[in-house]
Chain A
Amino acid sequence: MANIALQSAATGLGALNTRMDVIANNIANVNTAGFKASRANFQDLLYQERAQPGVENANGDQRPTGLYVGLGVKVSGTQVTFEQGPLIEGDDLDVAIEGRGFFQVQVEDSLGVGGIAYTRAGNFTLNKDGDLVLASDEGRVLDPGINVPADAISVEITSSGKVIAYQPGQSQGTDVGQIELAVFVNPAGLRQVGENLFAESDASGEPIVGQPTDDNFGRVRQGYLEGSNVDPTRELVELIRTQRAFEMNSQTIRAADQALQTVAQLRR
């Protein structure tokens, strides 16, 4: 039996459940460096045109246009918000981006992203060869590569991304590389692939590579880490709202079921 109220409420439950999943992931990543919060976007489903319910008219001429019944809601997609996260003091090799750019790191092809992935998480460290790598379990190598000499006492990174190593017995530092950043016309179109990494997609457009402090690329700050941009208060408020809306839709199911039950008992 076609019961639209039942179906609409079910689509509501499904969509709200997805939003709950998205919020849960945001809250789980409230302390993940360089994490960007997502949101679930909702849109209404199709509308069904219906004859005027009530009494049938023998002539059928009583029906004006436009009696529509909606069929519920769906999640049209998730969208990442690239609001700047807070800058948190960190180690010497922590680098935060203030502005729009992304660090580029080398990834293996099995990730399906064509060699390079993008991240805002600048928690760098050195690998055994002295390369600047992400301090993640995979140790992704920064691209273009920066190699720090083994005997370096300290490393300085300027706001424009120049990396200078200081070695014992030398009064001047050695220029060991330049951090480059990538920007996208539409960062919201980037694909999330886990490990704090983003991959280029048709929606994001091609990366535009440049140096920090260039127009629109942002600048880098050594000794700072960009925190997660998840706002816990907002997420919790969203969670409460989602949960209540979920409960209300389950009440609709109960009300629609009640109507069905009444029909089922119509004939004694």
Chain B
Amino acid sequence: MDYGFYIATSGALAAKHRQDVLSNNLANVETTGFKPNVVLARQRVSAREEDGLNHLPSDALIERLGAGVLMEPSRISHAQGRLERTGNDLDIALEGKGFLAVRDGADTSGDGVRFTRDGRMTIGPERELILSSTGMPVLDTNNRPIRLADDAPVAIDRDGAIRQNGEVVARLGLYNVPDPDYLPKMGDNLFAVPPNQYQSREASSARVNQGFLESSATNDIKMMIDIQSAAGDFGTNIAMIRNFDTLMDRAINRLGRVA
């Protein structure tokens, strides 16, 4: 069958994938601390090159065509989201690169540390600072849950120091990793931290803004346009498939017809 038939199919599948990823970005346009995924495609080389087979002179023409398109692993764009004032003392927004560390009690394999940019905190039954969305404890610079001293109001400095009655009771653990673009997303606004990235984590110099939240970093207008354009690309590739189908139809049913 036509080689182009498969190339067009790969184009259609890639466009559909793009639409899926982008629509998740758009669905999370109002999700606090959300970072959108970036969809990357690359041209696929021919199967012979991919599989490292011997070169035959007769393949040269077809190899120049390439072999369609392949999606790259999803990357995360860590662009800063807008800071929005909420006036709630236990809302914080990070400004600059870095993450809050929280502990996922359900994970017993390591120490269960997850990263997040979602600064909606609340106070747990034992006066510990927890995420209001998942109830996971927020960790300090020594990887311990943060426990408040008493019922006094909480003030959080720009560098992450938590104060009550003027005294520093704890410091928020703020971390950065060498390759944040590939941290696996777990849902619930959390990023998993693979062991190799976790080992090489560094203290982050992100500034903490009390009374603010970081809104979703999704650019809604761009997303809308990209989703529409993915729908268009999908349609174009399907049209190509039909085109090849027509060619084959003619080859089989007309050319072969005995007059």
Which A residues have a C-beta under 8 Å from some C-beta of B? 3-6, 8-9, 11-12, 15-16, 19, 39, 41-47, 50, 52-55, 57-59, 62, 64-73, 76-77, 79, 81-83, 100, 183, 185-186, 188-189, 202-203, 205, 208, 215-216, 241-242, 244-245, 248-249, 251-252, 255-256, 258-259, 262-263, 266-268
Contact with A along B1-42 (1 / 0, CB 8 A): 000001101100111110111111111111110100100010
Do residues B32 and A208 form an inter-chain contact, with CB atoms below 8 A?
no
Do residues A81 and B19 form an inter-chain contact, with CB atoms below 8 A?
no
Do residues B235 and A258 form an inter-chain contact, with CB atoms below 8 A?
yes
Shortest distance from the beta carbon of A76 to any chain B beta carbon, whole Å? 4
Is the C-beta of B208 less than 8 angstroms from some C-beta in chain A?
Answer: no
| Contact partners of A267 in chain B: CB under 8 A | 245
Q: How far is the CA of A267 from the CA of B118 in the complex (A)?
A: 47
Q: How far is the CA of A96 from the CA of B62 in the complex (A)?
A: 81
Shortest distance from the beta carbon of B199 to any chain A beta carbon, whole Å? 18
Do residues A81 and B88 form an inter-chain contact, with CB atoms below 8 A?
yes
Q: With A43-B188, A79-B132, A255-B228 known to touch, is A69 a contact of B24 (CB < 8 Å)?
A: yes
* 29 A–B contacts from the bound complex (CB under 8 Å): A5-B19, A6-B23, A8-B24, A11-B27, A12-B27, A43-B31, A44-B185, A44-B188, A47-B186, A50-B17, A54-B13, A54-B41, A55-B6, A55-B9, A55-B68, A66-B184, A73-B28, A77-B133, A186-B125, A188-B88, A202-B125, A203-B124, A205-B125, A216-B153, A245-B30, A248-B29, A255-B227, A259-B19, A268-B242
| Contact partners of A262 in chain B: CB under 8 A | 234-235, 238
Is the C-beta of B51 less than 8 angstroms from some C-beta in chain A?
Answer: yes
Q: With A67-B71, A67-B74, A68-B74 known to touch, is A185 a contact of B127 (CB < 8 Å)?
A: yes
> How many A-B residue contacts, CB cutoff 8 Å?
226
| Contact partners of A39 in chain B: CB under 8 A | 86
Do residues B227 and A55 form an inter-chain contact, with CB atoms below 8 A?
no
Do residues B50 and A57 form an inter-chain contact, with CB atoms below 8 A?
yes
B76's nearest neighbour on chain A, judged by CB, is A68
A255's nearest neighbour on chain B, judged by CB, is B231
Is the C-beta of B103 less than 8 angstroms from some C-beta in chain A?
Answer: no
- The residue from B13, B68, B122, B241 contacting A189, defined by CB atoms under 8 A apart: B122
Shortest distance from the beta carbon of B163 to any chain A beta carbon, whole Å? 15
Do residues B24 and A19 form an inter-chain contact, with CB atoms below 8 A?
no
Size of chain B's interface in residues, with CB distance under 8 A?
A: 75
Contact with A along B58-85 (1 / 0, CB 8 A): 0000000001111111100000000000
Q: Which of B9, B31, B90, B230 is the most central at the interface, judged by chain A CB atoms within 10 Å of its CB?
A: B31
Q: Which of B14, B188, B231 is the most central at the interface, judged by chain A CB atoms within 10 Å of its CB?
A: B231
Q: How far is the CA of A64 from the CA of B220 in the complex (A)?
A: 29
- The residue from B27, B71, B234 contacting A72, defined by CB atoms under 8 A apart: B27
Q: How far is the CA of A45 from the CA of B44 in the complex (A)?
A: 31
- The residue from A12, A53, A83 contacting B14, defined by CB atoms under 8 A apart: A53
Q: With A53-B14, A53-B16, A77-B132 known to touch, is A5 a contact of B73 (CB < 8 Å)?
A: no
| Contact partners of A245 in chain B: CB under 8 A | 29-30, 220
Do residues B184 and A45 form an inter-chain contact, with CB atoms below 8 A?
no
Contact with A along B163-176 (1 / 0, CB 8 A): 00000000000000
A66's nearest neighbour on chain B, judged by CB, is B73
- The residue from A5, A68, A186 contacting B23, defined by CB atoms under 8 A apart: A5
Do residues B188 and A53 form an inter-chain contact, with CB atoms below 8 A?
no
Shortest distance from the beta carbon of B52 to any chain A beta carbon, whole Å? 10
Q: Which of A43, A45, A77 is the most central at the interface, judged by chain B CB atoms within 10 Å of its CB?
A: A43
Q: How far is the CA of A11 from the CA of B68 in the complex (A)?
A: 32
